Amino acid sequence: MPAVDEILAGKDICICAGSGGVGKTTTSAAIATGMAARGLRVCVLTIDPAKRLADSLGLRELGNEARQVDPELFEQHGIEMKGELWAMMLDAKATFDELVARQAPDEESRDRVLDNRIYQQISSALAGSQEYMAMEKLFELHGSGRFDLLVLDTPPTRNALDFLDAPKRLTQFIEGRSLRVFMKPTGLAAKVAGRGASVALSVFKRIVGFDLLADLAEFFNAFSGMVDGFQARAKRVNKLLADPHTCFLVVCGPQGEPIDEAVYFHRKLVEAELPFGGVIVNKVHYPAENLRGEGDPADLEATLARELGDDLAARVCENFAEYQALSERDARNIEHLAAELRTSGVIRVPYLDEDVHDLGGLAEINRYLFASSEERIEIAAGRA
C-alpha cells in the first residue's frame, strides 16, 4: 500500500470514514497536517463537537468558518510547513439555515421554514441531517476554490449506510410528496387515496395530537417552493462524491468489530461506485518478528533472568507474551480485512506509547501515514 501522499496525489477531497472510536478525527487532522506540510493549502472539516480537533491543532475553538492554524506552532513541533492548514467545525444547524436562506424564493418563505418547530427539530436532531450538512459544506467549500485539498472527518455514524444515503433520505423527507397530498383531506387527492388513508390519518392524528400534524403540514408547505432546489443540489453533491478527484479512506481499529464495519463500509462504497482510496488501521500492535530481528524466544526468559533477576524477567516475559497475543490477533484481523478488500496492503499505524492529542502526536502518526510499508516496519522497530 502506498503512502497517504501518493494515494491523495491529484485529489481535491479526502473523506475519512469509519465507525466511532477508531481515531477518525485524529487521522483526519494528521492527514491534513501532512499534506499541508508538503505545500498544499488544506482545510480539515470536522463535525465532532468534542473539541478534539481544535485541541489537537492548538486552536481554542472552531466555528462554522475555516480558521488558519498558526504556522509558528508547526515550527515548535519540528514540522516544516510549506503550505497552509485550515480547520473548521461544522455547525449542522447553521449550515442548514444558510442553505434554506439560499434556496428560499423570498424572505417570507425563508422565515416560515426557519420558524417552523418541525424544521427546528430536524435541522439539529433528525438522523442524517448532520451527514447531509457535512456533504453540503464540503460542496460549498469545494466550489469556492479556496483550498487545494479538503479533508472531511465524517460523523460517527453507527451505520455506514446512513452516511452515504443521508442526502437522498433527507431530500425525500423534505419533498414529502405523498404526505402533502393527504394534508388537504378534502381535495381530489384524498378521494383518490381512498377511505383507508383518511382513517389512517385520523388515527395518527388521534395518537400524536392535531397540532403536531398541523406543524408537519406547515413544514412541508413551507418547503414546497424549495424542493427542486434541494433536489438539484443533492444531485450535484452526489456527483462530487463520485468524482475521480474525490477519495474515500476507510479508518478502523484492529479489533474484530471495527474491522467488520470497515469491510461493510468498503462494500457499500463499491456498490455506490464511490472512489475508494485505501484503508488505515490505527492502534496496531506490530508483530514481534518485525520488532525483534533475530533471536530464539526459548532463551528469552533465561537471558532476561541473567540481566534482571527471576522475578522481573518473569513479568517482562508475561507482558511480552500478552503483547504478542494481541499482535497476532491484529495480524489475523488485518489479513482478513486485506482479503475482503482485495488489497495487497493496509496502512498500519502502531499503538503509540503516547496518547495523541497535539501537533507533536500528529507528526508522530505522520511518520507512518506518509511512509511505505517497509519504512513503517523500520520506524516501528526503532531502526529508522
Site residues (CB under 8 A) for another protein, limited to 87-116: none
Buried b (16+ CB within 10 A) or exposed e, 85-106: bbbbbbbbbbbbbbbbeebbee
Q: Is 128 or 278 the residue whose CB approaches another protein more closely? A: 128
Given 65, 68, 101, 121, the residue binding another protein (CB under 8 A): 121
**Grid coordinates belonging to 104:** 428560499
Given 10, 78, 145, 382, the residue binding another protein (CB under 8 A): 382
Length of the chain: 384
Given 82, 102, 146, 158, the residue binding another protein (CB under 8 A): 158
Q: Closest approach of Cβ 321 to another protein, in Å?
A: 9
Based on the shown chain and the rule CB under 8 A, indicate whether residue 291 belongs to the binding site for another protein: yes
Given 101, 270, 308, 339, the residue binding another protein (CB under 8 A): 308
Show the site string, 223-262: x = touches another protein by CB under 8 A, - = not.
------------------------------x-xxxx----
Rg (CA), the chain: 26
Question: Within positions 344 to 363, which residues make up the interface with another protein, using CB under 8 A?
Answer: 353-355, 357
Q: Cβ of 9: how many Cβ atoms within 10 Å? A: 9
Q: Is 10 or 382 the residue whose CB approaches another protein more closely? A: 382
Residue 192 class from Cβ within 10 Å (0-12 exposed, 13-18 middle, 19+ buried)? Answer: exposed
Based on the shown chain and the rule CB under 8 A, indicate whether residue 315 belongs to the binding site for another protein: yes
Q: Is 179 or 240 the residue whose CB approaches another protein more closely? A: 179
Question: Within positions 167 to 226, which residues make up the interface with another protein, using CB under 8 A?
Answer: 173, 176, 178-179, 182, 193, 196-197, 199-201, 203-204, 206-213, 215-216
Q: Closest approach of Cβ 205 to another protein, in Å?
A: 8
d(CA 177, CA 213): 15
Distances (CA, A) of 278 to 68, 140, 222, 301, 352: 28, 25, 43, 40, 21
Show the site string, 319-338: x = touches another protein by CB under 8 A, - = not.
xx-xx-xx-xx---------
| Element housing 86 (H / E) | strand 84-89
- CA geometry: angle at 197 spanning 191 and 202, to 5°? 110
CA-wise closest residue to 30 among 60, 3, 1, 67? 3
Q: Closest approach of Cβ 80 to another protein, in Å?
A: 26
